[in-house]
Amino acid sequence: MSEEFLPFSRPSISQAAIDEVVACLKSGWIATGPRVNQFTENLKRYFDAPHVLPLTSATAGLHVALLGMDLAPGDEVITTPLTFVATLNTIVLAGGKPVLIDIDPGTLNMDMNRLADAVTDRTRVIMPVHFAGLPVDLDPVYEIAEQRGLRVLEDAAHAIGAEYKGKRIGSFGDTQVFSFHPNKNMTTGEGGCVVTRDQQLAMQIERLRFHGIDRQAWNRYSKGGSQDYEVVLPGYKYNMMDIQAAIGIHQLQELGGFIARRNELANRYQEALSDWPQWTLPKRPPYEHLHAWHIYTPLINEEITGMNRDEFMQAMKEKNIGTGLHYRAAHLYPYYRQAFGFNLGDFPHAEDVCERIVSLPLFPGMTDAEHDKVLDVMYGIFN
Ligand SMILES: *Cc1c(COP(=O)(O)O)cnc(C)c1O
């Protein structure tokens, strides 16, 4: 009866990645060095992008990307309330004001019909989140950004491997940030990267992620002593390590297979649950896309189950199955209520979804038998 606990997510680390980490440890170079350089080149090729900057996390990436976009106090950044709080936190840390628009209750992405009206004279950046790995409808985003002279910073933490109208997320547009946290589509332990087509921004992020050091500036400023760099601003310590890149080099090679398996498992849920009245399932938008299925997130219908989301999660846990909550509505955390005056009722679709959403187990190493077991246990809970 007491079987092993099935987590909602688990990284798949190949023997090749493990061997690479061991080789890195034995090489004598474990902090930022040749493996980070190789990983950077591999990512540039993957995204077909001129500038890719790996760093310690996606949060660090969002932070320095926004800092590099030079927000003045009170400048507004438009994003969604259905996101991990790092999205909002980094806006505040970079000196900006988060302005939220409600979600489309079907796709769970930002409702683009609300975007144009949310833009004000103070808006500087649009920051869409590709929720669950489903690409946001980017054409209208970039259209409005161009019309109004705005930057676009895509929080693509869920979306490495996803495609919008035949193009990889990260291969076009302004700037994207990806996460390599263990629960995400590929991992480096902790880690993330910024992808941009803006050379100035890339240079600024390069300085910000490592102590404000500029390795080109010494030519211009120093009188030719032994120093080979200058410090041009007070920077952070956000550089990725070679130990992390050693994992990432192999994860990136395996990513296509991970995304394919994520799609199989998500489709399996969609089919199995399609005639269950207990659930409202994630909907797909009409435009062409490849979903990365970072998470599979149906909404519980409490009037049918007689059980709310938290009770369902508890019942699953008692049967040794882990689930996840992505996310509580970001605007309702005490800090955001107090600092920006957000209240219950501000974003009704997001608030409703955040009460009902649950992430079912989904990860590339999950077997069909494990998937069947999740469905059996869910069936048992409701019948
Ligand atoms: C995970 C996540 C982040 C932060 O990623 P880290 O690498 O953990 O810093 C940011 N935004 C979203 C939407 C996320 O899911």
The pLDDT confidence band at residue 227, using thresholds 50, 70 and 90, is: low
Distance 380 CA to ligand 1 centre (A): 33
Q: Which pLDDT value is given to residue 216?
A: 74
Kindly tell me the sign of the dihedral angle through the C-alpha atoms of 56, 15, 362, 156: positive
Closest atom, ligand 1, to C-alpha of 179: 7
Do residue 273 and residue 249 come from a single domain?
no
Do residue 46 and residue 169 come from a single domain?
yes
Do residue 218 and residue 141 come from a single domain?
yes
Distance 376 CA to ligand 1 centre (A): 31
What does the alpha-carbon distance between residue 148 and residue 157 come to, in Å, rounded to a whole number?
A: 26
Do residue 218 and residue 322 come from a single domain?
no
Closest atom, ligand 1, to C-alpha of 87: 11
Do residue 248 and residue 261 come from a single domain?
no
The pLDDT confidence band at residue 1, using thresholds 50, 70 and 90, is: very low
Q: Which pLDDT value is given to residue 60?
A: 98
User: What is the rounded average pLDDT of the residues 48-60?
Assistant: 98
Do residue 111 and residue 34 come from a single domain?
yes
Do residue 330 and residue 261 come from a single domain?
yes
What does the alpha-carbon distance between residue 44 and residue 273 come to, in Å, rounded to a whole number?
A: 39
Do residue 168 and residue 291 come from a single domain?
no
Residue whose pair of structure tokens reads 């909002």 in the numeric block: 88
Kindly state whether residue 8 falls inside one of the protein's structural domains. Answer: no
What does the alpha-carbon distance between residue 154 and residue 138 come to, in Å, rounded to a whole number?
A: 9
Report the domain count for the chain. Answer: 2
CATH of residue 156:
3.40.640.10
What does the alpha-carbon distance between residue 179 and residue 61 come to, in Å, rounded to a whole number?
A: 9
What does the alpha-carbon distance between residue 216 and residue 230 come to, in Å, rounded to a whole number?
A: 8
Do residue 72 and residue 211 come from a single domain?
yes
Q: Is the CB of 192 under 6 A from ligand 1?
A: yes
Q: Which pLDDT value is given to residue 130?
A: 98
How many CB atoms neighbour CB 233 within 10 A?
12
Kindly state whether residue 89 falls inside one of the protein's structural domains. Answer: yes
Residue 225, CA atoms < 13 Å, CB-side half-sphere:
6
Kindly state whether residue 3 falls inside one of the protein's structural domains. Answer: no
Q: Is the CB of 176 under 6 A from ligand 1?
A: no
DSSP H or E stretch at residue 231 = strand 230-231
Kindly state whether residue 164 falls inside one of the protein's structural domains. Answer: yes
Q: Structure tokens of 228?
A: 């080979």
Q: Is the CB of 168 under 6 A from ligand 1?
A: no
The pLDDT confidence band at residue 48, using thresholds 50, 70 and 90, is: very high
Q: Which pLDDT value is given to residue 229?
A: 87
Kindly state whether residue 1 falls inside one of the protein's structural domains. Answer: no
Kindly state whether residue 76 falls inside one of the protein's structural domains. Answer: yes
pLDDT digits (tens, 9 = 90+) for 142-170: 999 999 999 999 999 999 999 999 999 99
DSSP H or E stretch at residue 52 = strand 51-55
User: What is the rounded average pLDDT of the residues 44-62?
Assistant: 98
Q: Is the CB of 294 under 6 A from ligand 1?
A: no
Q: Is the CB of 265 under 6 A from ligand 1?
A: no
**Residue where one domain finishes, among candidates 200, 223, 253:** 253
Do residue 355 and residue 270 come from a single domain?
yes
Q: Which amino acid, 193?
A: C
Whether the CB-CB separation of 237 and 208 falls below 8 Å is answered with no
pLDDT digits (tens, 9 = 90+) for 173-214: 999 999 999 999 999 999 999 999 999 999 999 999 999 999
Distance 226 CA to ligand 1 centre (A): 40
Residues known to be catalytic: 184
Q: Which amino acid, 361?
A: P
The pLDDT confidence band at residue 225, using thresholds 50, 70 and 90, is: low
Stretch among 44-53, 74-83, 133-142, 217-226 having the lowest mean pLDDT? 217-226
Stretch among 99-113, 207-221, 230-244, 318-332 having the lowest mean pLDDT? 207-221
Q: Is the CB of 179 under 6 A from ligand 1?
A: yes
Do residue 86 and residue 114 come from a single domain?
yes
Do residue 295 and residue 235 come from a single domain?
no
Q: Is the CB of 188 under 6 A from ligand 1?
A: no
DSSP state of 130: -
Q: Structure tokens of 167?
A: 């193009």
Kindly state whether residue 343 falls inside one of the protein's structural domains. Answer: yes
Q: Is 323 exposed, middle or buried (0-12, 13-18, 19+ CB in 10 A)?
A: buried
**Residue where one domain finishes, among candidates 237, 253, 269:** 253
DSSP H or E stretch at residue 249 = helix 242-273
User: What is the rounded average pLDDT of the residues 111-124?
Assistant: 98
Distance 256 CA to ligand 1 centre (A): 21
Distance 290 CA to ligand 1 centre (A): 20
Domain that holds residue 94: 15-253
Q: What is the mean pLDDT of the chain?
A: 96
DSSP H or E stretch at residue 175 = strand 175-179
CA-nearest residue for atom 5, ligand 1, is 58
Kindly state whether residue 4 falls inside one of the protein's structural domains. Answer: no
What does the alpha-carbon distance between residue 1 and residue 194 come to, in Å, rounded to a whole number?
A: 46
**Residue where one domain finishes, among candidates 202, 237, 253:** 253
CATH of residue 323:
3.90.1150.10
With H, G, I as helix, E, B as strand and everything else as coil, classify residue 59: helix
pLDDT digits (tens, 9 = 90+) for 74-102: 999 999 999 999 999 999 999 999 999 99
